[in-house]
Chain A
């Protein structure tokens, strides 16, 4: 079975531009979460979606937005890019929202974004 897939794998943008990152969860998983990982730090939670609804939001500005589609895939959008948005963006899927007893999140390989 395919794991979590993300596209593109790498991306270079300039300040002020916007970017859309895509994620396809593991088949049967209905929850998708997004994380940002700056070099040298652990992943930081951005959003979680379940059944197309936002179920959680981390401490990120409104320039960050996301949505989930009927097939449970998801997009992360970042507007007005800043140099500090350069990071590895990770998508994780799980059967249910949160990590619940017996639940776990499975991560994709990430999209590495460089903002110049």
Chain B
């Protein structure tokens, strides 16, 4: 699995877009980028994943650079309930059957 690098913390104003960056410069061609978040004392929650193309679902958008060395998770209208630790993971399908979580980014949405 490729190593990912994220800022340890970020703040965002309620109602504004939260843009969470992730660097995965050593990502290989078959590794997907996954995003999970973990709200205090709960299990991680799947958000979105992608390989090459930008992806959007009801929770967020994922923008992957053309060289795939970095990506950005976008929460379009952050709410206080989006305050959580966000994890970016790069993993190949069926590779070692584990997901390698780093320390993540602690996003604090402020009123």
Q: Determine if B44 and A107 form an interchain contact, defined as CB atoms under 8 angstroms apart.
A: yes
Among B44, B100, B102, the residue within 8 A (CB) of A90 is B44
A: residues with CB less than 8 A from B are 4, 33, 35, 41-45, 48, 50, 55-56, 58, 88, 90, 92, 96-101, 103-110, 112
B: residues with CB less than 8 A from A are 32, 34, 36, 41-46, 49, 51, 85, 87, 91, 93-104
New contact pairs (4) apart from A42-B104, A110-B42, CB-CB < 8 Å = A45-B99, A50-B97, A55-B97, A109-B42
Report the separation of the CA atoms of residues A33 and B99 in the bound assembly, to the nearest whole angstrom. Answer: 10
Q: List 25 A-B contacts (CB under 8 A).
A: A4-B43, A33-B99, A35-B101, A41-B103, A42-B104, A43-B44, A48-B97, A55-B97, A56-B96, A56-B97, A56-B98, A92-B43, A92-B44, A96-B94, A97-B97, A99-B94, A100-B93, A100-B94, A101-B32, A104-B49, A107-B44, A107-B45, A109-B42, A109-B43, A110-B43
Contacts of A105 in B (CB 8 A): 46, 99
Q: Determine if A108 and B43 form an interchain contact, defined as CB atoms under 8 angstroms apart.
A: yes
Q: Which residue of B lies closest to A42 (CB)?
A: B101
Contacts of B49 in A (CB 8 A): 99, 104
Q: How far is the CB of A102 from chain B (nearest CB, A)?
A: 9
Report the separation of the CA atoms of residues A58 and B104 in the bound assembly, to the nearest whole angstrom. Answer: 20
Decide: A101 near B98, CB < 8 A? Known: A90-B43, A108-B43, A109-B43.
no
